[in-house]
Each structure stands twice: as structure tokens, then as C-alpha cells.
Amino acid sequence: MLVVHSKQELAEHIAEWRQNDEHVALVATMGSLHPGHLKLVELAREHAERVVVSIFVNPTQFGADEDFEKYPRSLELDKRRLKTTAADLIFAPDVATVYPFGTEQATTVSVPGLTENFCGAARPGHFDGVTTVVARLFGLVQPDAAVFGQKDYQQQLVIRRMVEDLSMPVAIITCETIREDDGLALSSRNSYLSEEQRAKAPLLYEALSSVGDELQNGQRNFSELEKVANKKLLAAGFVVEYFSIRRAQNLEIPDRDCDDLVVLAAAQLGEARLIDNVVVTV
């Protein structure tokens, strides 16, 4: 497996693959890889002969008081984890490679509307950072396809919208959320949980699944379902940022006969901000 840090080296390998008529899929990550990321790589390989994994902790998607500095970084371990997967190349650029004019002077990509609520409201500027870096990675890697996890449900919708709106020639593929045996969605930020918090953390998915089941059974009092789940999580010690039932396609408020729903939640448990969702197709 190749490991490259510069644009030039990356471009050389991509050009060589293109000459052989090989397709390229990108798995964009911030490193600290876990089995959820490895699943993205596996799925990427089903869509292209070559898989690039980018590892870049993107400063522009973190707010001033967020965890950019302490975000877990483990390039050597990540290389070892990827060795036995279908990844062909790790692209691990530095900030100057991704933002040659600096982060302050960077051309930015912003998706209005879809980014205003939920994680966008809680983390102002976050999605501008995400779309900006993903657009840059698409420019550098020129992938035919890119795979993102369903755990970051709003993120994958925002990226899909960007790609559609800017006619980017990249197929966006969403990969199911990979979970621990007790239901907790895998996330690099789970490492912030204490032992006690870790034991409580699966309650988030439990609450989402139970609302998902109610919806599946025809319950349509959305605000009551949200209220009950909120209460349950608060009682367990979560600081709930949002717990909401929305249209799966665009996160708008659904009406009673909407048959494609998503239940989304974000909650703080100690130092860890957990997000998760379940999609309900009736």
C-alpha cells in the first residue's frame, strides 16, 4: 500500500491508474480509523478498481472551542489498520497542501438550507468546513466515487447536495452505520467516553430504535415521540442537542403520511458528542 503526502505524488499514481482505465473511489477520513472506516473501504472497492483513503484532520470544520487540538491522531496505527484492506493508497496531506492559500484565504464551498439545522446549528461553520475540504479532496483525487458513513446523516445529504448543485462527476455512496455489539455507533470520538459513560452510551441508539419501531408501527405523533425520547435520555444523563423526526430526503418537517423518515439525534455525554440516526421506510 502506497502512502503519499504531496499533490504531485498523488497525481502521478492517479494518472498511472487512469492510463490503465481503472476507476478510483475515495474514502475521506480524519484518521483514527476503526472498523466503520474499514467497512467504507470495503464498499469503495466494490465501486472501483482503486481505493484512496485520505487522512486529514481538517481544521476548518472545527469551531474555535471544539476538539481540533485533541482530536485523536494515529497515522502509524492507521497505516497498519489499512494494510490488510483493499486500500491502494493513503493520502495524508498537511494543511498547506490542502489549503495552499491558507485557511483564512481559502475559497469556500457552502451549502445553504440543509446545513442550517441540527449539527449545522450546533456547530456554526462546521458544514462549510466539510464541503470545502471534500471539494478540495475531490479536486486532488478526482475520484469516480466517494463513500461516506450513514452515521453522519446530515453530512452525507449536504455532500450529495453539493455534488448535484456543482455537477461534480462523483458518485456518492452511503455506507450503513457500523455498531458495537451493544448498538453504539462506532466513532473516533467514543474514545472520549469514561467507562461509566461508555456503559450508558448505547441508550442513544436504543432511544432512536424505539422511536423507529413506533413509526414503523404507524405512530404519527412526532412531537410526542420526540418528547418521550428526550426525557428518557435526559434522565440517563445525556445533554440532548436535538432528537428529531424528519423527512429522510431533505430533513424537512414531515407530514403524517410521509413514508421515508429519519430519526436523528445528537447528545453530549461527558466530553463526547455522540450523533446517530435510524432511517425508517414505511
- Contact residues toward ligand PAF (CB under 6 A) are 28-30, 58, 61, 130, 133-134, 152, 155
Give whichever of 94 and 213 is closer to ligand PAF, judged by the CB atom.
94
What value does the CA radius of gyration of the chain take, rounded to a whole number of Å? 19
Q: Measured between alpha carbons, how far is 166 from 121 in angstroms, rounded to an integer?
A: 24
- Catalytic pick among 5, 13, 34, 37: 37
Contact present, 7 and 97 (Cβ < 8 Å): yes
Rounded least distance, CB 49 to ligand PAF, Å: 22
- Residue 1 Cα distances to 83, 85, 140, 265, angstroms: 7, 9, 19, 37
Give whichever of 28 and 233 is closer to ligand PAF, judged by the CB atom.
28
Cell numbers of 154, please?
446530515
Q: Measured between alpha carbons, how far is 149 from 130 in angstroms, rounded to an integer?
A: 14
Rounded least distance, CB 60 to ligand PAF, Å: 9
Give whichever of 30 and 203 is closer to ligand PAF, judged by the CB atom.
30
Answer yes or no: 37 catalytic: yes
Give whichever of 103 and 210 is closer to ligand PAF, judged by the CB atom.
103
Rounded least distance, CB 277 to ligand PAF, Å: 14
Rounded least distance, CB 206 to ligand PAF, Å: 24
The residues facing 27 across adjacent strands are 53, 147
Angle at 43 between CA 37 and CA 46, to 5 degrees: 150
Name the residues annotated as catalytic. 37
